[in-house]
Amino acid sequence: MDSFNGTDWFLGVEATHVNGPLRLEGRVGRFVSNVEPATLAELHGSYALTDRTRLRAFARDVIYDGDFGHFGLLSVGVSHDVSDSVRLYADAGFHENDFGAGDVYHGNVFAFGIVLTPGGTRNERMFTYTPFY
C-alpha cells in the first residue's frame, strides 16, 4: 500500500520469480482516487548474459476509469554491475498516452540510471522501482 498526494491510495500485489539467469517481476494494482482512479499492470524481466551484465525488458499499462484512456510503456535495455555496490543501466522504449478524447500521444523514452547498494549485498528478490514515465 502506498499513498499518493495524501488522499489517493495505491493497493497492489507484487511477485518475483528468480530461476538461474532469468528474473521476472510482476505487479498489479489499483489507484483508489477521487480524481484519477485507474488499474495498473507491470512486468519486469531480465536475463543474465554474464555475472555482471543483464538484458532488461519492461512493460506497463495504466488504464484509467471511464473514458479517460490509458498510459502504456514498453522498453528494453541493458544493465552492468560496475562493482558489487554500483549498477548502471540504460533503457530505450516507446510510450502511448491516450487521454480518452481522441488525443493520443506517442513518443520515445530513454532512461539512464544508477542503482546503489550499500554494503554491496544485493537481494535479487527485491522489487524494482521504475519511474512512472
Query: What is the rounded distance in angstroms from the CA atom of residue 98 to the CA atom of residue 56?
Result: 25
Query: What is the rounded distance in angstroms from the CA atom of residue 113 to the CA atom of residue 82?
Result: 13
Q: What is the pLDDT of residues 4-51, one digit of tens each?
A: 566 788 889 999 999 999 999 999 999 888 888 999 999 999 999 999
Query: What is the rounded distance in angstroms from the CA atom of residue 47 to the CA atom of residue 57?
Result: 9
Confidence of residue 3 (pLDDT cuts 50, 70, 90): low
Determine the residue type at 65.
D
Q: Is 120 helix (H, G, I), strand (E, B) or coil?
A: helix
Higher pLDDT, 83 or 1: 83
For the chain, what percent of residues have pLDDT higher than 90?
A: 64
Buried residues in 83-96 as b, exposed as e (16+ CB within 10 A): eeeebebebebebe
